[in-house]
Amino acid sequence: MSFVAYDRPVRTAFIGLGRIYDLNVRGYLDNPEADVVALVDPSPDRRAQRQQDWPEAATFASVAELAASGLEVDAVESLLPAPLHADGVVDMLDRGWHVNCQKPMCNDLAGARKMLKAAEANNRVLRVMENYLFYQPLHQLKAVVESGEIGEVVGYHMKMVGVGNGGWDVPWSSFEWQMEQMKVGRGIMIFDDGWHKLSTALWLFGPIRQVRAWIGNTHMGPGVDIDAPTMIMWEHESGIRGAWDVTCAPDMYLRSDYYTNDERWEVTGYKGFARVNRCTGRGIQQPSVEVYADGEMRSYHALDDDWGSTFRDSGRHWLRWLHTGEGPLLWSAEEATDVLRFALAAYESSAAGGTGGDPREGR
Ligand SMILES: NC(=O)c1ccc[n+]([C@@H]2O[C@H](COP(=O)([O-])OP(=O)(O)OC[C@H]3O[C@@H](n4cnc5c(N)ncnc54)[C@H](O)[C@@H]3O)[C@@H](O)[C@H]2O)c1
């Protein structure tokens, strides 16, 4: 792809103005690298609400209306419900816009291939943003591991508990499409939120050659199922093994400014360990990163451990990238496809009773 970097603000349209807009917008506020020129959502209430942030922006009920208006757009922030990503993003690329798409990329490899092809055919950039890769405590964890401070890595695990009480309000409409996703085997814990955890595994330790999974189900009520308890294990090409334990605690309360997820990452080395104690919610309220080695515990007290900052930094990274064309996209569409392959290999393994599968061989 030949990309010409922008030397002026990127004319941007927000497509989808729902719950996650509140965080994605942080990369654009007070950022001279973008001009938000359009806001698109079928909901008049959402359009009116978000117009307060961008009084100069034009509003539209659909992408087709925006395109028909003749308004010039360089790039879009695609915040559509996940089931609309594949077709929606192809449409946006076909209209000649660069796309910064929310995760999950799409439900299957056929969709991913369509999206990759559309980006190539239109000579446009497709990014599938991964805000967790901008979480400072995870950066610190990676730096500690790479510094050798805990010795050679012998393994790691991640933990995630979906907690029922606390956090910000999520409108029922934001759950409705999640329930549709669950019906087609793409649940909220493993595929939607879990996408981030799978991403961090790839980001921390590289390509994966084998995945084994045991995906469970908790029936919460009519039409509402949660894909936990679940355990997924894998082996990286380096030989490092990881495991992820996913549970659901419907009556637990967790303090959070956002979603109520209790999340942890812990890497064990030959001579110590390093762990991230929390992320989206405020579960363990100790310093967000702790490192044990040689009989001593070291804590990081001054990291930006506000999960919301990851959206600000991810958005700024995208806009900076569009002005330079340099460095990693975090993630590119190809890298996001590897995350999808990882998830698909877990589903295949679970369906086959937990046998090992190679994500690189998925069709
Ligand atoms: N990175 C993260 O941590 C994170 C967190 C939450 C959600 N997400 C992702 O963000 C995306 C959106 O999630 P959400 O929670 O904001 O959903 P939501 O349902 O709250 O918002 C989606 C919005 O899109 C609008 N919409 C529907 N069809 C449309 C169309 N054809 N054109 C334009 N707008 C349309 C809806 O009216 C709604 O306002 C999903 O892919 C989700 O997985 C990511």
Quote the ligand 1 centre to 358 CA distance (angstroms).
Answer: 31
Q: Which amino acid is at 85?
A: H
* Number of the ligand 1 atom closest to the C-alpha atom of 174: 19
For residues 40 and 17, is the Cβ–Cβ distance under 8 A? yes
Give pLDDT tens digits for 43-93.
999 999 999 999 999 999 999 999 999 999 999 999 999 999 999 999 999
Is residue 212 helix, strand or coil?
strand
What confidence score (pLDDT) does residue 242 get? Answer: 98
Quote the ligand 1 centre to 200 CA distance (angstroms).
Answer: 22
Spatial separation of the C-alpha atoms in residues 230 and 215, rounded to whole Å: 4
- How large is the average pLDDT for residues 353-363? 90
Spatial separation of the C-alpha atoms in residues 206 and 84, rounded to whole Å: 29
What are 85's two structure tokens? 């990503």
What confidence score (pLDDT) does residue 223 get? Answer: 84
Spatial separation of the C-alpha atoms in residues 206 and 199, rounded to whole Å: 10
Spatial separation of the C-alpha atoms in residues 125 and 115, rounded to whole Å: 11
**Measured torsion, CA atoms of residues 268, 213, 102, 172, in degrees rounded to the nearest 10:** -110
* Number of the ligand 1 atom closest to the C-alpha atom of 15: 33
- pTM (two decimals): 0.98
Quote the ligand 1 centre to 131 CA distance (angstroms).
Answer: 15
pLDDT value at 21 more than 70 = yes
Spatial separation of the C-alpha atoms in residues 7 and 23, rounded to whole Å: 26
Is residue 26 helix, strand or coil?
helix
Nearest CA owner, ligand 1 atom 19: 174
What confidence score (pLDDT) does residue 134 get? Answer: 98
Q: Which amino acid is at 289?
A: V
Q: How are beta strands 153-165 and 126-128 bridged, if at all? A: unpaired
Quote the ligand 1 centre to 173 CA distance (angstroms).
Answer: 10
Spatial separation of the C-alpha atoms in residues 263 and 334, rounded to whole Å: 26
Burial class (CB in 10 A: 0-12, 13-18, 19+), 163: buried
For residues 309 and 134, is the Cβ–Cβ distance under 8 A? yes
Ligand 1 residue neighbourhood (C-beta within 6 Å)? 15-20, 40-43, 46, 62-63, 79-82, 84, 102-103, 131, 173-174, 192
pLDDT value at 362 more than 80 = no
pLDDT value at 338 more than 70 = yes
pLDDT value at 363 more than 90 = no
Quote the ligand 1 centre to 197 CA distance (angstroms).
Answer: 19
What confidence score (pLDDT) does residue 1 get? Answer: 72
pLDDT value at 200 more than 70 = yes
Confidence of residue 359 (pLDDT cuts 50, 70, 90): very high
φ/ψ of 356, rounded to 5, equals -80, 140
Quote the ligand 1 centre to 78 CA distance (angstroms).
Answer: 8
Q: Which residue has the higher pLDDT, 224 or 339?
A: 339
Mean of per-residue pLDDT scores for the chain = 97
Nearest CA owner, ligand 1 atom 39: 18
pLDDT value at 236 more than 70 = yes
- Which residue among 17, 20, 85 has the greatest number of ligand 1 atoms within 8 angstroms of its CB, and so is best to mutate? 20
- Which residue among 79, 168, 306 has the greatest number of ligand 1 atoms within 8 angstroms of its CB, and so is best to mutate? 79
Spatial separation of the C-alpha atoms in residues 94 and 225, rounded to whole Å: 36
The whole-angstrom distance between residue 166's C-alpha and the CA centroid of its chain comes to 21
- How large is the average pLDDT for residues 205-214? 98
Quote the ligand 1 centre to 17 CA distance (angstroms).
Answer: 7
For residues 261 and 279, is the Cβ–Cβ distance under 8 A? yes
Quote the ligand 1 centre to 20 CA distance (angstroms).
Answer: 6
- How large is the average pLDDT for residues 134-162? 98
- Which residue among 78, 106, 174 has the greatest number of ligand 1 atoms within 8 angstroms of its CB, and so is best to mutate? 174
Q: How are beta strands 98-101 and 75-78 bridged, if at all? A: parallel
- Which residue among 15, 21, 102, 257 has the greatest number of ligand 1 atoms within 8 angstroms of its CB, and so is best to mutate? 102
% of the chain with per-residue pLDDT over 90: 98
For residues 88 and 177, is the Cβ–Cβ distance under 8 A? no
Query: What sign does the dihedral 158-23-227-218 (CA atoms) show?
Result: positive
Quote the ligand 1 centre to 335 CA distance (angstroms).
Answer: 21
Give pLDDT tens digits for 281-332.
999 999 999 999 999 999 999 999 999 999 999 999 999 999 999 999 999 9
pLDDT value at 233 more than 90 = yes
Nearest CA among 215, 168, 212, 170 for reference residue 189: 215
Count of all residues that appear for the chain in the document: 363
